[in-house]
């Protein structure tokens, strides 16, 4: 299975819009949305019907039994995450609690136990022979990196012999992005020609580089600032990163997206340009002499 991960560093660059176009062009047997904090891919992709729903359990949270609590305050004094609150009685702030177990082990009255917590939901959709793996993290939960890993695992288990898989990644450079990078064959970075966009692109290149994964860049909304687009191309040349092409800003794209349609399904300039970028990307990911680890 050749896995293509689409990242952007900065949000709002058009990652999901482009991912949905690629899915339309390549009709892969498997695709996934790893932006578990705010999954959007399903809004512009025909995903079929739900074939599996699973609760996702993150780290257990501490729970205080007020009937046993002797109010010694040892738990609150030793909690590094400010997760124990005193409001008449002692209570755990489940958003702040990291499930470390320190309070449990220190409590002289054995009043604290660990409770498993549902931190999100994994979803698997099936349509004809294709599967779509996604998840929604419950608001404020930690462990989004692990849920990302579960989304990819679910995708691989549902269609282990898929030849090609497209993964829509999450913004940023933290935990969920690092988790999504593992095991992929190529990363396509969607960059925006703004100074913020370039700054974020550099940080995501640095992150992907730490993993030694083949990286390529494309510029979206390229004509909002042609000088910056050129800057990006030069940067890629300098760092020896493959440049896959440009996609111009297209008001038709917004219309399509708002109708829940991918730009690849309508006749528009961004769709046409995305097709060229897709073709370059496909060439690169499937090139010969490429040993998959």
Partner 1 sequence: MKIAIPVNEKKVESGVCMSFGRTPYFLVNDTEEKENLFIENTASKSTGGAGIKAAQIIVDNEVDVLLTPRCGENASGVFQNAGIKMYKTVGDSVESNIKDFISGNLSLLEEIHAGLHDHGKK
Partner 2 sequence: MIMEKNNMKIAVLSGKGGTGKTLVSVNLAAASEKAIYIDCDVEEPNGHLFFKPDDKKEKEVSVIIPEVNNDLCNGCRKCVDFCRFNALAYIKNRLFVFDEICHSCGGCVMLCPQNALTERKKSIGKIIEGVSEQVYLYTGMLDTGEASGVPIIKELFQKTKDISDKDIFIDCPPGSACVVMESIKDADYCILVAEPTIFGVHNLNLVYELVTLFKKPFGVILNKYMEEKDPSEEFCIENKIKILGKIKFDKALGKLNSEAQIAVRTNEKYKVIFTSLLETVKKEVRNETASDS
| Contact range with partner 2 by CB under 8 A, out of 191-199, 234-242, 270-278, 279-287 | 191-199
Select the binding partner of residue 242 from partner 1, partner 2, none (C-beta < 5 to 8 A, by kind).
Answer: none
Select the binding partner of residue 173 from partner 1, partner 2, none (C-beta < 5 to 8 A, by kind).
Answer: partner 2
- What is residue 189's three-state secondary structure? strand
The smaller minimum CB distance to partner 1, of residues 158 and 191, is found at: 158
Site string for partner 1, 195-214 (x = CB under 8 A): ---------------xx---
Asked if 40 contacts 16 with a C-beta cutoff of 8 angstroms, the reply is yes
Q: Which of 144, 154, 270, 281 binds partner 2 (CB under 8 A)?
A: 144
Rg (CA), the chain: 22
SS3 content of the chain, % helix, strand, coil (to 5): 35, 25, 35
* CB of 221 vs partner 2, minimal distance in Å: 9
Place of tokens 């896995």: 3
Segment 112-115 long-range contacts (CB within 8 Å, at least 24 positions apart): 112/62, 112/63, 112/64, 112/65, 112/75, 113/62, 113/63, 113/65, 114/60, 114/61, 114/62, 114/63, 115/60, 115/61, 115/62, 115/63
- What is residue 26's three-state secondary structure? helix
Could you say which residues in the range 135-164 bind partner 1, by CB under 8 A?
141-143, 145-146, 148-149, 153, 156
Select the binding partner of residue 101 from partner 2, partner 1, none (C-beta < 5 to 8 A, by kind).
Answer: partner 2
Select the binding partner of residue 58 from partner 1, partner 2, none (C-beta < 5 to 8 A, by kind).
Answer: partner 1
257 binds partner 2 (CB under 8 A): yes
Q: How many CB atoms lie within 10 A of CB 147?
A: 26
Footprint of partner 2 on this chain (CB under 8 A)? 8-13, 16, 37-38, 40, 43, 59, 78, 80-81, 95, 98-102, 105-106, 137, 139-142, 144-145, 171-175, 178, 192-197, 199-200, 203, 206-207, 210, 224-225, 228, 254, 257-258, 260
């Amino acid at each position: 299975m050749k896995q293509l991960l689409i990242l952007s560093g900065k949000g709002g660059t058009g990652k999901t819009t482009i991912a949905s176009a690629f899915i339309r062009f390549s009709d892969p047997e498997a695709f996934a949305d790893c932006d578990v904090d705010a999954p959007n891919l399903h809004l512009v992709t025909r995903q079929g019907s739900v074939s599996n729903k699973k609760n996702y359990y993150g780290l257990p949270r501490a729970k205080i039994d007020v009937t046993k609590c002797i109010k010694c305050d040892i738990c609150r004094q030793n909690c590094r995450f400010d997760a124990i609150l005193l409001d008449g009685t002692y209570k755990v702030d489940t958003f702040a609690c990291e499930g470390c177990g320190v309070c449990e082990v220190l409590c002289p009255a054995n009043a604290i136990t660990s409770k498993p917590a549902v931190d999100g939901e994994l979803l698997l959709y099936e349509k004809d022979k294709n599967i779509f793996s996604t998840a929604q993290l419950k608001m404020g939960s930690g462990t989004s990196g692990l849920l990302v890993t579960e989304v990819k695992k679910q995708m691989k288990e549902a269609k282990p012999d898929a030849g090609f898989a497209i993964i829509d990644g999450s913004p940023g450079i933290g935990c969920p992005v690092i988790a999504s990078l593992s095991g992929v064959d190529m990363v396509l970075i969607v960059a925006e020609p703004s100074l913020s966009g370039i700054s974020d692109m550099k940080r995501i290149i640095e992150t992907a580089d730490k993993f030694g994964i083949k990286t390529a860049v494309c510029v979206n909304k390229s004509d909002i600032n042609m000088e910056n687009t050129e800057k990006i191309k030069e940067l890629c040349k300098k760092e020896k990163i493959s440049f896959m092409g440009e996609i111009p800003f297209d008001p038709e794209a917004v219309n399509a997206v708002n109708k829940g349609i991918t730009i690849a399904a309508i006749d528009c300039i961004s769709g046409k340009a995305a097709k060229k970028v897709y073709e370059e990307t496909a060439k690169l990911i499937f090139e010969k002499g490429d040993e998959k680890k």
